Structure 1
Amino acid sequence: MTFTTPKHRSRERVVQALYQYIVSGGEVLKIEQQFLNQKSGKISKAFFSNLFINILKNRTELDALIAPTISREANELGTVEQAVLYLGAYELQNSIEVPYKVVINEALEVAKLYGAEGAFKLVNASLDKLAQSLRKIEIEASK
């Protein structure tokens, strides 16, 4: 078993919760509670809730950010890929304290774990393009 941090497990659960919401709809708060109450592995509950609720609040804006970075329509993406892209795009835009490379790497790890075979390549390409615009200063500074 690989070592994962509470924040990494929180990101995994955010993707699972987003998946559940996208596939079945349902009440946001019920889904949030369901994932907060899971007993498997320690998560950062505030981190999880912040990501899950704010990603859902900002879906339209996130769709607009993601659309130009992918070579197909968003509705043609697998649900897991869509959820992972929401997570990565939201963190790139709003979690400036998290280095862009960490955001992308975390999203890739979740995509490899839950996504279709090779889906991580699409996620990587999309988030890399997004980082170029959303984190331009950070990227320039790291060169």
Structure 2
Amino acid sequence: MSQTLQAVYAAKRKARRFAVQGIYEWQMSQNSVHEIEARTRAENAMHKVDLGYYHELLTQVIADHEALDTLLIPVLDREVSALDGVELATLRLGAYELRNHVEIPYRVVLDEAIELAKHFGGADSHKYINGVLDRLAQTLRQAEKEA
């Protein structure tokens, strides 16, 4: 893989990391998306982050959280309200990518979500995230999963 491609992947990974933190903050505080994004950009070195992707993930996941929850409900084993905040933020981001970014292979979406859960979540939350998003991919990416 070329150095340029590695940098692109790393920038997207960092965008996801900041986005999941912002989604979590919004879930906990209901601060405005604009406020969350402005503070994140002011307080962090964001020169190696895909800022466009970060902005998209943060704004669109929050704006569309109800529809994303509707996608997740059938594949959850508990109520959305019973999910840990980090798990919910990660699942919403993963559901958004599965639904809206078909150019990203579903296995990459799952791997990225698992890494976010390992970094920010509880001890075994990555296993739960994997199971839920894998079941969701069965619906949203059925042809890709079967291939």
Q: Which amino acid aligns with 2:102?
A: I
Query: How many angstroms does 1:34 deviate by?
Result: 1.8
Deviations 1:88-114 (A, max 9, x none): 000000001100000000000000000
The structure 2 residue matched to 1:95, chosen from 101, 123, 144, is: 101
Gaps (5+ residues) in structure 2? 1-6
Whichever residue aligns with residue 26 of structure 2, its letter is: Y
Q: Which residue of 2 aligns with 1:131?
A: 137
Instruction: Give the C-alpha shift of residue 28 in structure 1.
Output: 1.1
Does 1:63 pair with 2:69? yes
RMSD (CA atoms) = 1.5
TM-score (norm 1): 0.92
AA of the residue aligned to 2:81: N
TM-score (norm 2): 0.90
Match of 1:105 in 2: 111
Moved over 3 A (4+): none
Identity %: 37
Q: Distance in 2 between matches of 1:122 and 1:67?
A: 14
Q: Return the letter of the residue paired with 2:19.
A: V
| CA contact 1:65–1:89 (8 Å) conserved in 2 | yes
Q: Measure, in 2, the Cα distance between the counterparts of 1:49 and 1:126.
A: 25
Query: Structure 1 or 2: larger helix share?
Result: 2
